[in-house]
């Protein structure tokens, strides 16, 4: 079955410029994710360079002064001085949401409300950083979904999709828009953009298909569409687990009509201000005392400043690695190459050293959270391991083709 869910191209190769693999998934409408579904994978041009790298080349030619002017025009349209919030900034208190909320407030005189979709299991450092963000001077609404439901959906997403992080992703996409509508805040600005997170502009545009709506297609559904959570229909979940619609509502997208009616605009700051993850890190450190991973680096990678909040993070990257052959270090290294923080050569050796490292620190917590045994965990992992990507050598699974092999870019 695992072959079905992988891309049709059997050949594996890596970007000549960064370290991205052609097997990377590029996102889909989360509410349509089903078991055995074929997913889109990273696109490359005919010179063997991934479109995310090409996007960064375009960014170098971007007139950022002009972009900032566009941003200011948008902000001027929404700015209020009547004692109401005028922009909603979703985030966790990580480097990107800190950067965004601060510049909106201090540089552009906006009145942001910040909001947070709680991680499944907060890490100590995630909770600390969240609190420092609020301490630094922001109102925040923290939404914590019903843990019984969150656990159930995490388990279903793990078993059906090998994607235990899906409930968090659903909340990231859907909760801020619903909150903005309720609070009558007409502008939502995210601190990170999908294009920067190695997906590439072209792939995202395919999802956006604007229909006179100022909200990306990833963030809402169309009337009459069936909604899947953790790979099962909401109808099935409600019947099987005796849940009400309200139990699932926080995880469900708003419909296009409701979004249109609310007249909300949703955008990413990275479309207007040149993004650099390292600069945001230094900014966040200075402004709100943002702290890095106390272990020195996160498991599965060499970096210490991204995705620190949730004990499930490590399993998100590890399961992705099993399905696509590229993990958390590839993610970070590809992004840092594009931002000219490290060279491709350095990236290759970092990927070789850290990619696919098992997230053992919170393994017990994770098993307890979704109430499965170690055996069930590894059986599920093996169910999704593609024979196209992996082979057994001396009793151990190894990648058939990795970025540090010779001729890896062909
Ligand atoms: Zn690339």
List the chain domain ranges: 64-271
**Which of 2-16, 74-88, 99-113, 272-286 has the lowest average pLDDT?**
2-16
**Which of 7-16, 22-31, 142-151, 370-379 has the lowest average pLDDT?**
7-16
Q: What average pLDDT does this structure show over 120-135?
A: 92
| Angle in degrees, CA 56, 62, 64, rounded to 5 | 115
CA of 95 to the centre of ligand 1 (A): 23
Whether 10 has a pLDDT exceeding 80, the answer reads no
Q: What average pLDDT does this structure show over 110-129?
A: 94
CA of 54 to the centre of ligand 1 (A): 7
pLDDT category at 214 given cuts 50, 70, 90 is confident
CA proximity to 112, closest of 169, 170, 216, 186: 186
341-355 as b/e: b if 16+ CB within 10 A = bbebeebbebbeebb
CA of 336 to the centre of ligand 1 (A): 11
CA of 268 to the centre of ligand 1 (A): 21
CA of 242 to the centre of ligand 1 (A): 46
| Range ranked top by mean pLDDT from 105-114, 192-201, 258-267 | 105-114
Q: What is the pLDDT of residue 295?
A: 82
Report CA 65 to chain centroid distance, whole Å.
Answer: 28
CA of 50 to the centre of ligand 1 (A): 4
Domain 64-271 class in CATH: alpha beta
Q: What is the pLDDT of residue 195?
A: 61
| Residue-averaged pLDDT of the chain | 90
Per-residue pLDDT tens digits for 297-338 = 989 999 887 778 889 999 999 999 999 999 999 999 999 999
Radius of gyration of the chain (CA): 21
Whether 285 has a pLDDT exceeding 80, the answer reads yes
Whether 154 has a pLDDT exceeding 80, the answer reads yes
As given in the structure block, the two tokens for residue 158 are 């793990």
Q: Give the residue with greater pLDDT, 352 vs 210.
A: 352
The answer to whether the CB of 329 falls within 8 A of the CB of 300 is yes
What is the CB neighbour count within 10 angstroms for residue 260? 16
The answer to whether the CB of 210 falls within 8 A of the CB of 267 is no
Q: Give the residue with greater pLDDT, 294 vs 13.
A: 13
Q: What is the pLDDT of residue 175?
A: 96
Q: What average pLDDT does this structure show over 254-266?
A: 94
Q: What is the pLDDT of residue 1?
A: 34
CA of 347 to the centre of ligand 1 (A): 11
CA of 24 to the centre of ligand 1 (A): 11
As given in the structure block, the two tokens for residue 14 are 């890596």
Q: What is the pLDDT of residue 90?
A: 96
Q: How many angstroms separate the CA atoms of 22 and 85, rounded?
A: 43
- pTM, two decimal places: 0.91
CA of 58 to the centre of ligand 1 (A): 13
Q: What is the pLDDT of residue 209?
A: 52
CA of 42 to the centre of ligand 1 (A): 9
- Under DSSP, is residue 232 helix (H, G, I), strand (E, B) or coil? strand
Whether 392 has a pLDDT exceeding 80, the answer reads yes
pLDDT > 90: percent of the chain:
74
As given in the structure block, the two tokens for residue 285 are 């450190």
Q: How many angstroms separate the CA atoms of 86 and 166, rounded?
A: 29
Whether 211 has a pLDDT exceeding 80, the answer reads no
pLDDT category at 406 given cuts 50, 70, 90 is confident
Q: What single-letter DSSP state applies at residue 41?
A: B
Whether 47 has a pLDDT exceeding 90, the answer reads yes
Whether 9 has a pLDDT exceeding 90, the answer reads no
Q: What is the pLDDT of residue 296?
A: 81
Q: What single-letter DSSP state applies at residue 294?
A: T
- Whole-angstrom CA distances from 111 to 9, 67, 107, 174, 270 are 48, 21, 11, 22, 19
Q: What is the pLDDT of residue 97?
A: 92
Whether 206 has a pLDDT exceeding 50, the answer reads no
CA of 206 to the centre of ligand 1 (A): 19
Per-residue pLDDT tens digits for 337-380 = 998 999 999 999 999 999 999 999 999 999 999 999 999 999 99
């Amino acid at each position: 079955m695992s072959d079905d869910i992988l891309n049709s191209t059997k050949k594996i190769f890596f970007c000549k410029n960064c370290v991205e693999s052609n097997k990377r998934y590029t996102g889909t409408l989360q509410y349509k994710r089903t078991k055995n579904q074929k997913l889109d994978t990273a696109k490359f041009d005919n010179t063997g360079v991934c479109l995310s790298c090409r996007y960064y080349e375009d960014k170098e030619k971007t007139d950022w002064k002009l972009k900032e002017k566009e941003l200011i025009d948008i902000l001027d349209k929404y700015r209020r001085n009547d004692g109401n919030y005028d922009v909603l900034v979703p985030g966790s208190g990580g480097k990107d949401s800190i950067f965004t909320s601060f510049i909106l407030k201090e540089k552009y005189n906006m009145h942001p409300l910040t909001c947070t979709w709680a991680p499944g299991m907060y890490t100590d450092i995630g909770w600390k950083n969240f609190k420092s963000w609020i301490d630094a001077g922001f109102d925040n609404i923290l939404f914590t979904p019903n843990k019984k439901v969150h656990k159930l959906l995490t388990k279903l997403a793990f078993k059906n999709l090998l994607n235990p992080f899906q409930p968090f992703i659903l909340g990231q996409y859907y909760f801020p828009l619903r909150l903005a509508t309720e609070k009558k805040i007409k502008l939502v600005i995210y601190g990170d953009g999908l294009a920067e997170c190695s997906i590439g502009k072209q792939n995202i545009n395919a999802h956006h298909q604007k229909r006179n709506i100022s909200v990306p297609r990833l963030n809402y559904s169309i009337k009459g569409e069936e909604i899947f959570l953790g790979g099962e229909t909401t109808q099935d979940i409600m019947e099987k687990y005796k849940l009400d619609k309200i139990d699932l509502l926080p995880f469900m997208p708003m419909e296009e009509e409701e979004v249109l009616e609310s007249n909300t605009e949703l955008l990413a700051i990275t479309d207007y201000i040149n993004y650099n993850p390292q600069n945001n890190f230094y900014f966040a450190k200075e402004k709100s005392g943002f702290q890095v991973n106390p272990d020195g680096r996160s498991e599965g990678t060499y970096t210490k400043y991204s995705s620190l909040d949730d004990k499930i993070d490590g399993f998100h990257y590890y399961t992705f690695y099993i399905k696509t052959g590229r993990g958390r270090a590839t993610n970070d290294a590809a992004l840092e190459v594009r931002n000219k923080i490290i060279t491709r050569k350095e990236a290759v050796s970092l990927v070789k050293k850290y990619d696919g490292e098992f997230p053992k620190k919170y393994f017990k917590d994770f098993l307890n959270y979704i109430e499965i045994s170690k055996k069930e965990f590894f059986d599920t992992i093996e169910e999704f391991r593609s024979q196209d990507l992996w082979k057994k050598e001396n009793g151990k699974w190894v990648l058939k083709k990795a970025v540090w092999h010779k001729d890896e870019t062909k």
